[in-house]
């Protein structure tokens, strides 16, 4: 699976939410509303979520493996840092970063 495009929309420098990001996977699937949050223990990404119950949120889409989340976070942070250097409200970063390598050979399945 390849991240082929990252779009960063900066919010502002005040507050915990720093940016909202959209990623494109394999030039055919988009995930919107990934948030970059500056928390008490550092920066992290929050996947798109919906409210369930009173005050609880559940991710709509998210990486299953922690290493995939880390790779995705690294790609998003790199695009965010580039957006800060360019000082633009929205930055589109062309990417071709492979994440979540599939060790199975699809040809073996029948």
CATH architecture of the domain 2-97 equals 2-Layer Sandwich (3.30)
Rounded distance between C-alpha atoms, residue 46 and residue 12, angstroms: 17
Number of Cβ atoms within 10 Å of the Cβ of 52: 9
Structure tokens at 69: 């989340």
User: For residue 90, what are the CA distances in angstroms to 43, 60, 69, 86?
Assistant: 19, 24, 23, 10
Rounded distance between C-alpha atoms, residue 91 and residue 58, angstroms: 28
Rounded distance between C-alpha atoms, residue 99 and residue 81, angstroms: 20
pLDDT confidence band for 11 (50 / 70 / 90) = confident
Q: Give me the pLDDT at residue 102, please.
A: 60
Task: Please determine, for residue 17, whether its predicted confidence score (pLDDT) is greater than 80.
Answer: yes
pLDDT tens profile 78-103? 999 988 888 777 777 776 767 766 65
């Amino acid at each position: 699976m390849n991240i082929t495009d990252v779009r960063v929309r900066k919010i502002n420098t005040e507050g915990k939410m720093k940016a909202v990001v959209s990623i494109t996977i394999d030039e055919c699937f988009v995930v919107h509303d990934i948030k970059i949050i500056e928390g008490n223990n550092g920066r992290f990404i929050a996947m798109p979520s919906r409210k369930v119950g009173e005050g609880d949120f559940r991710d709509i889409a998210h990486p299953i493996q922690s290493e995939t989340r880390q790779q995705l976070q690294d790609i998003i942070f790199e695009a965010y840092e580039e957006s800060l250097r360019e000082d633009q409200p929205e930055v589109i970063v062309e990417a071709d970063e492979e994440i979540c390598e599939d060790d199975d050979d699809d040809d073996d399945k029948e």
